[in-house]
Amino acid sequence: MKPTIDEQIKWQKQLLRNYPQAEFEGNAILTSLERLKQIDAQELVACNWKYIEDGYWQTDCGESFCLEEGTPEQNGMKYCHHCGKPLYTKPEAK
Ligand SMILES: [Zn+2]
């Protein structure tokens, strides 16, 4: 089974204690793991909406939705109306 990010963080911290000479590399890996963990949590709890074109958005839960103007946030949408999860749009979306 694939180790969870929490397990990997634990191992990495152990490695850092055993090999303090590799502190710089170890900390860099640790920072990446913590970041991954955040992204993971966000994607698990949220419905990600991706902008396609002409006002159409593709939702994580397999629906598409058309907005006449702006982003879901600008339209005051906080939740996906298909699956009920908090709505999240990728930062690059317009
Ligand atoms: Zn959804």
Q: What is the pLDDT along the chain (94 residues), one digit of tens a residue?
A: 778 889 999 999 999 999 999 999 999 999 999 998 888 777 778 899 999 999 999 999 999 999 999 999 999 999 999 999 999 887 654 4
Contacts of 47 (CB under 8 A, 6+ apart): 59, 60, 61, 79, 80, 82, 83, 85, 86, 87, 88
Prediction pTM value: 0.54
Residue 85 lies in a domain: yes
Distance 33 CA to ligand 1 centre (A): 27
The range of the structural domain enclosing residue 53 comes to 43-89
Say how many domains are in the chain.
2
Q: 34 and 68, same structural domain?
A: no
What stretch of H or E contains 7?
helix 5-18
Residue 47 lies in a domain: yes
User: For residue 79, what are its two tokens?
Assistant: 């939740």
Distance 61 CA to ligand 1 centre (A): 4
Q: 31 and 10, same structural domain?
A: yes
Distance 39 CA to ligand 1 centre (A): 17
Residue 74 lies in a domain: yes
